Amino acid sequence: MFALRTFIIAVAIASANALTSSLQQVTANFGSNPTNVKMYQYKPTALATPTPLIIAMHYCTGTAQAYFSGTNLAQLADQHGFIVVYPNAPTSGGCWDVATTATLTHNGGGDSLGIANLVRYAIANWGVDASRVFATGTSSGAMMTNVLMGAYPDLFAAGSLYSGVPYGCFAGPSAWNSQCAQGQLSKTPQAWGDQVRSGYPGFTGTRPKVQFWHGTADTTLYPQNFQEEIKQWTNVFGVSQTPTANISNNPQSGYSRASFGPNVQAILAQGVGHTVPEHETDTLDWFGLSSLTPGSSNPGNPGTTTPPTSTPPTTSAPPATTSPTGATAAHYAQCGGIGYSGPTVCAAPYTCKAANAYYSQCL
């Protein structure tokens, strides 16, 4: 009897997690694809009308198939009726080209052009809603998300990136940029913003809103990159680096969510290394797709507004508390700021330095 019950439970779990469709390679000629980025589509059996599209990009050493099986985006696609495309990086190491002038320039070439042309093809041939195209990714995929936000703002409504770096931070002759990775490449907000604007010179339309996640214990792409991203995207949108809202333990314990108006959101994960785990339902909130259902018609562009579950209300933040006796914050970790409740003393030889009223860091 116990064995039978266990079997029934296992079957029930498998059925709950079963997908309505399968991952299929896109074999159609979708336009110029200079680096031969392979594309894989997950199309649920039931779609929302018109249909949103999410581009989901894997990390270095990863693959489209690994990101498909390692995230819950396909299950959410079944629930909400959007299409997911998982590009596959063409390099032997599985990293995306986020360094060349070509990939950083609108219609310039590189990996980004192949992805952009897939989006254009999907809009023209798959019934995809041109106003609801989004991108997300982890590590190298997060970097490519930033590249797409800067070089193709005409195609994307929003991006959500996990453990990446600012747009253009890796720019240069090498695929890897140690100065950027180690958080040593610091620029003024204006310089960072100008770098984004250089991706598509003369663009005057609505720019995609950006959400980024980073861990304080990241030693692959150091958390200073989180601060540089704040500088960059607040400048792009012409808003203050002081958050309009900041809430601790959101979306989970140890995380803090800062909003800089409706278009920039930054989530910092205390003690989390490389990479921050994907929070797919939160990302879906940011994209404005949480209430979408197959067959429904949602006119307009939900990606231009911030859903209530994704952005905390603008209220007075709780006062910072002192750190527990003997607790210290590690190098690059947060050590203070309004609403912060962790250690305020840095491990030797580092000192706590304020970036703004809401964030201080051990440097």
Which residues are known catalytic residues?
Answer: 139
Provide the edge-to-edge strand list for the sheet that holds 83-88. 23-25, 38-42, 83-88, 51-57, 128-138, 158-162, 209-215, 264-269, 255-259, 245-248
Which residue bears the tokens 């009308």?
A: 49
The angle formed by the CA atoms of residues 258, 158 and 46, to the nearest 5 degrees, is: 120
Residues facing 256 on adjacent strands: 248, 268
What DSSP line would sit under 74-86, residue for residue?
Answer: HHHHHHH--EEEE
Structure tokens at 43: 């199309």
Q: Could you give the count of Cα atoms lying within 13 Å of 41 in the half-sphere of its Cβ?
A: 18
Q: CB of 130 within 8 A of CB of 154?
A: no
Give CA–CA dist 164/147, Å, rounded: 11
What number of residues does the chain have?
363
Q: Are strands 209-215 and 158-162 parallel, antiparallel or unpaired?
A: parallel
